[in-house]
């Protein structure tokens, strides 16, 4: 059994931007403090929701550094260091390790993609280059590559590969990963609408978009379950299902940044090519936020 990086709700935190597109570090500090004050169990920086794909190399490292320093050990910080270039992923992972990240989030290679054998080689090379625990990130809808359960099992043999963020939406696949890997690979939900089903299979929590706007809700869905209050956990999951869905009414992180801006949290714009939502989508999102008392 490997050490668990965190249990509960880890926020896939946005990277706030100024109107000129630069990173707004003052707003980032406020968002991190807001998360920790409202029971978020971990900060996941520079993931998909953090717009890592449009951060320059210098920005990527600086955002990770800032998140670690601002969090100041209050909760674990997991740094997104994945790439479709194995060499660059190794460099970025080493840099995050030197900065003091508690974990690394490694997405599957995108665009050039690879085979399942290639995934084992790619992630294996990264795992052998660092000691910091790694969370694999399987999100075929974005990368075109799925981590098959058998591949997850092979990767679980590496000491530094500790977990997988499962965003396939396929609960049967999650069950097979759990059956094959047991306690040698923790599983986190990558979908806010499937937290409870995944916890029921032995999952450790969620890496959450919802937590950006409702951190205590995401935390409580997990905590209720851990405390044996399964009915309460499921009820809360279902109560917020509409918000989970509306945060994906457009391409992530467009809606969640819009929601934070509506809430006065100063997330700023997304970087192009991510473009603002339609007025109709904004109205729908605002109505759902208001329904839950978030406006």
Cα separation of 266 and 277, whole Å?
17
Instruction: Answer whether residue 276 is part of any domain.
Output: no
The structure tokens listed for 17 are 């931007």
Cα separation of 209 and 191, whole Å?
8
* Structural domains of the chain, count: 1
Q: Is the pLDDT of residue 141 over 90?
A: no
What pLDDT does residue 2 have?
Answer: 81
Instruction: Answer whether residue 115 is part of any domain.
Output: yes
Phi and psi based region of residue 96 (left: phi greater than 0; alpha: psi -120 to 50; beta: remaining): alpha
Q: Is the pLDDT of residue 1 over 80?
A: no
For residue 165, indicate whether it is catalytic.
yes
pLDDT (tens digit per residue) in 50-87: 999 999 999 999 999 999 999 999 999 999 999 999 99
Domain that holds residue 133: 8-238
Active-site choice (137, 158, 224, 225): 137
Arithmetic mean of pLDDT over the chain: 97
Mean pLDDT of 274-295: 97
Mean pLDDT of 246-268: 97
Instruction: Answer whether residue 24 is part of any domain.
Output: yes
Cα separation of 246 and 274, whole Å?
17
What one-character-per-residue DSSP string does 43-63 give? EEESSTTTTGGGS-HHHHHHH
At a CB cut-off of 8 Å and minimum separation 6, what does 112 contact?
A: 84
What pLDDT does residue 55 have?
Answer: 97
Active-site choice (39, 65, 165, 204): 165
What pLDDT does residue 140 have?
Answer: 83
pLDDT (tens digit per residue) in 198-247: 999 999 999 999 999 999 999 999 999 999 999 999 999 999 999 999 99
Instruction: Answer whether residue 246 is part of any domain.
Output: no
Instruction: Answer whether residue 288 is part of any domain.
Output: no
Instruction: Answer whether residue 121 is part of any domain.
Output: yes
The structure tokens listed for 130 are 């660092």
- Helices (H) and strands (E) in the chain — how many of each? 13, 8
What pLDDT does residue 68 have?
Answer: 98
For residue 137, indicate whether it is catalytic.
yes
pLDDT interval class at 143 (50, 70, 90): confident
At a CB cut-off of 8 Å and minimum separation 6, what does 225 contact?
A: 196, 199, 200, 233
Q: Is the pLDDT of residue 180 over 90?
A: yes
What's 196's domain CATH number?
A: 3.20.20.70
Whether the CB-CB separation of 191 and 215 falls below 8 Å is answered with: no
Instruction: Answer whether residue 192 is part of any domain.
Output: yes
Instruction: Answer whether residue 112 is part of any domain.
Output: yes
């Amino acid at each position: 059994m490997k050490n668990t990086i965190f249990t509960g709700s880890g926020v896939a935190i946005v990277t706030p931007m100024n109107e000129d597109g630069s990173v707004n570090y003052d707003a980032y500090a406020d968002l991190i403090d807001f998360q920790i004050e409202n029971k978020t169990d971990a900060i996941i920086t520079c993931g998909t929701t953090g717009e890592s794909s449009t951060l320059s190399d210098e920005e990527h490292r600086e955002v990770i550094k800032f998140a670690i320093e601002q969090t100041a050990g209050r909760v674990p910080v997991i740094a997104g260091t994945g790439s479709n270039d194995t060499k660059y992923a190794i460099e970025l992972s080493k840099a995050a390790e030197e900065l003091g990240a508690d974990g690394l989030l490694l997405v599957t290679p995108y665009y050039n993609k690879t085979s399942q054998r290639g995934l084992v080689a790619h992630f294996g090379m990264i795992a052998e280059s660092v000691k910091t625990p790694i969370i694999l990130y399987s999100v075929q809808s974005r990368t075109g590559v799925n981590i098959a359960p058998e591949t997850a099992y092979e990767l679980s043999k590496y000491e530094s590969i500790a977990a997988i963020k499962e965003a396939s939406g396929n609960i049967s696949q999650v069950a097979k990963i759990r059956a094959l890997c047991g306690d040698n690979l923790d599983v986190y939900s990558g979908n806010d609408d499937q937290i409870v089903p995944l916890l029921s299979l032995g999952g450790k929590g969620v890496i959450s978009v919802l937590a950006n706007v409702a951190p205590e809700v995401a935390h409580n869905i997990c905590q209720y379950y851990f405390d044996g209050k399964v009915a309460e956990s499921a009820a809360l999951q279902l109560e917020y299902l509409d918000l989970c869905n509306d945060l994906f009414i457009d391409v992530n992180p467009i809606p969640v940044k819009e929601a934070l801006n509506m809430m006065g949290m100063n997330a700023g714009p997304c970087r192009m090519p991510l473009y603002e939502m339609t007025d109709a989508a904004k109205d729908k999102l605002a109505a759902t936020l208001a329904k839950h008392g978030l406006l």
